[in-house]
Amino acid sequence: MSETRTADFAVRDARARIRVELGARGYDIVVGAGTLADIGLSKAIWPKLRRVLVVSDETVDRLHGARLAEALAGAGFARESVVLPPGEATKSFAMLETLCETLLARRIDRGDVVVAFGGGVIGDLAGFAAAILLRGIDYVQIPTTLLAQVDSSVGGKTAIDTKLGKNLVGAFHQPRLVLADTALLDTLPRRDLLAGYAEVAKYGLIMDEAFFGWLERAWPRVVERAGPERTGAIDFSCRAKAAIVAEDERETGRRALLNFGHTFGHALEAECGFGDELRHGEAVALGMVMAFDLSAAMGLCDPAAGERVRRHFAAAGLPTSLRANTLAARPWPAERLVEHMLSDKKTRGGALTFILARGVGRAFVAHDVPRDRVIATLRAHGAA
Ligand code: NAD
Ligand code: GLY
């Protein structure tokens, strides 16, 4: 993508619009400050739409529910809301049942539309409910975290967690519209913004060095306020993801690149029981540094690339080592971390598959990565 863009990725227009090219299931992503008000675009998709069913969490509803209610009323839609507790525990069988029963009790029909208004938890849960209710109804994503705006709201992966692991029960079900309102992120705690920022950086690291180079300069403005840099970073991320999803919707090939840093990251999250100790994005940041170091140890990449990534994440305040601050309290046994990797749903036949890199912007899928190399990389980062 870099050859068609200048090194300035900021978007100064009020709106950026991206098409996810999936034929009849294709849809637009609209990015910018105030795009919440564009919910009226739904009328072009569903001319007869009268009622929307908004699924949200308590925090998002308290902070931004009134704004959405106003936008819906302005567009002439009747609204019914379901407000769930915040947090990963909401992505459960129990909460899926509550949500489905509540929507059915309100006599949801195939002419209604579900609006997922929240972070990745609400997007994944409400999207899954939409996939299975009445054998599938339409939904709109209005993501309210940076992570959800650049990753989880796009691409149609929906899921809940089970006792045996995260995201193990779900469906591919594409939304019909995504409204990424960059101003909603102004209420997001900095730690969550940074965790989402790791996923933004991921797109540069896997496929576009120029974008990563721009982020090295522009990241404070991406994180700190709604404006051209934030819109630009989200626009680029969504374009990158849309292109990959259009090519490989069901992750039989290239979509796996989006898992860069995730094999290491998932193992670290699993070791912490997926609790608050380590946000998903923080684990992915650490995982991406580890993936560069593993690539260098295997002779695939100049060690300077890993150093560059480490420097950038450290400057932004993302963790880059298991020896960092609060993380140092855990022993992080390397053998157990590899066992977590082997029980990841992305692992097949007991072989370790990683997304590795030949340099910044040049990621690829590597099968059968030797276990001892992985262990050595983990230990170099502070694992026992
Ligand atoms: P989240 O949905 O739990 O949101 C994080 C916290 O921020 C919550 O407490 C929420 O209430 C709060 N919040 C949300 N918007 C806010 C706002 N604007 N201001 C203040 N607070 C706000 O977490 P997340 O990081 O958005 O998403 C994580 C989930 O996404 C995980 O379950 C992960 O598995 C999933 N995910 C899915 C995909 C996918 O492709 N479907 C991709 C990546 C991650
Ligand atoms: N978050 C990875 C994917 O959507 O494929």
Does the beta carbon of 305 lie inside 6 Å of ligand 1?
A: no
Does the beta carbon of 157 lie inside 6 Å of ligand 2?
A: yes
Does the beta carbon of 155 lie inside 6 Å of ligand 2?
A: yes
CA distances from 298 to 206, 368, 377 (A): 18, 12, 10
Give distance in angstroms: CA of 84 to centre of ligand 1.
13
Q: Which residues contact 372 (CB under 8 A, 6 or more apart)?
A: none
Residue nearest to atom 2 of ligand 2 (CA): 258
Give distance in angstroms: CA of 143 to centre of ligand 2.
15
Pocket test for ligand 1, best of 117, 144, 230 (most atoms within 8 A of CB): 144
In 3-state terms, what secondary structure has residue 357?
A: strand
Q: What is the per-residue DSSP string for 234-279?
A: HHHHHHHHHHHHHH-TT-SSGGGGGGTTHHHHHHHHHHTTT-TTS-
Looking at the predicted structure, is the pLDDT value of residue 5 above 60?
Answer: no
Name the residues annotated as catalytic.
135, 157, 199, 241, 251, 255, 259, 262, 266, 280
Looking at the predicted structure, is the pLDDT value of residue 350 above 80?
Answer: no
Give distance in angstroms: CA of 258 to centre of ligand 2.
6
Which band of pLDDT confidence, cut at 50, 70 and 90, is reported for residue 348?
low
Which band of pLDDT confidence, cut at 50, 70 and 90, is reported for residue 67?
very high
pLDDT of residue 2: 45
For the stretch 190-211, pLDDT in tens is 999 999 999 999 999 999 999 9
Ligand nearest to the CA of 157: 1
* Distance between CA atoms of residues 113 and 79, nearest Å: 10
Does the beta carbon of 187 lie inside 6 Å of ligand 1?
A: yes
Model pTM? 0.96
pLDDT of residue 275: 82
Does the beta carbon of 170 lie inside 6 Å of ligand 2?
A: no
**Beta carbons of 19 and 28 less than 8 angstroms apart:** yes
Half-sphere exposure of 92 (CA within 13 A, CB side): 11
Give distance in angstroms: CA of 145 to centre of ligand 1.
6
Mean pLDDT across the chain: 95
**Positive or negative torsion for Cα 96, 102, 107, 108:** negative
pLDDT of residue 346: 66
To 5 degrees, how large is the angle CA 274–CA 235–CA 258?
Answer: 40
For the stretch 129-165, pLDDT in tens is 999 999 999 999 999 999 999 999 999 999 999 988 8
For the stretch 48-59, pLDDT in tens is 999 999 999 999
The gap from C-alpha 32 to its chain's centroid, in whole angstroms, comes to 18
Does the beta carbon of 302 lie inside 6 Å of ligand 1?
A: no
Q: Which pair of structure tokens corresponds to residue 280? A: 């998903």
Looking at the predicted structure, is the pLDDT value of residue 371 above 90?
Answer: yes
pLDDT of residue 345: 63
* Distance between CA atoms of residues 119 and 284, nearest Å: 17
Give distance in angstroms: CA of 156 to centre of ligand 2.
9
* Distance between CA atoms of residues 84 and 95, nearest Å: 8
pLDDT of residue 6: 52
Half-sphere exposure of 327 (CA within 13 A, CB side): 21
* Distance between CA atoms of residues 300 and 366, nearest Å: 11
Q: Are strands 138-143 and 165-172 parallel, antiparallel or unpaired?
A: unpaired
Percentage of the chain beyond pLDDT 90 is 91
* Distance between CA atoms of residues 126 and 118, nearest Å: 10
pLDDT of residue 7: 81
pLDDT of residue 4: 44
Question: What beta strand segments (E) does the chain contain?
Answer: 16-20, 27-32, 51-57, 78-84, 113-118, 138-143, 157-162, 165-172, 177-181, 354-357, 363-366
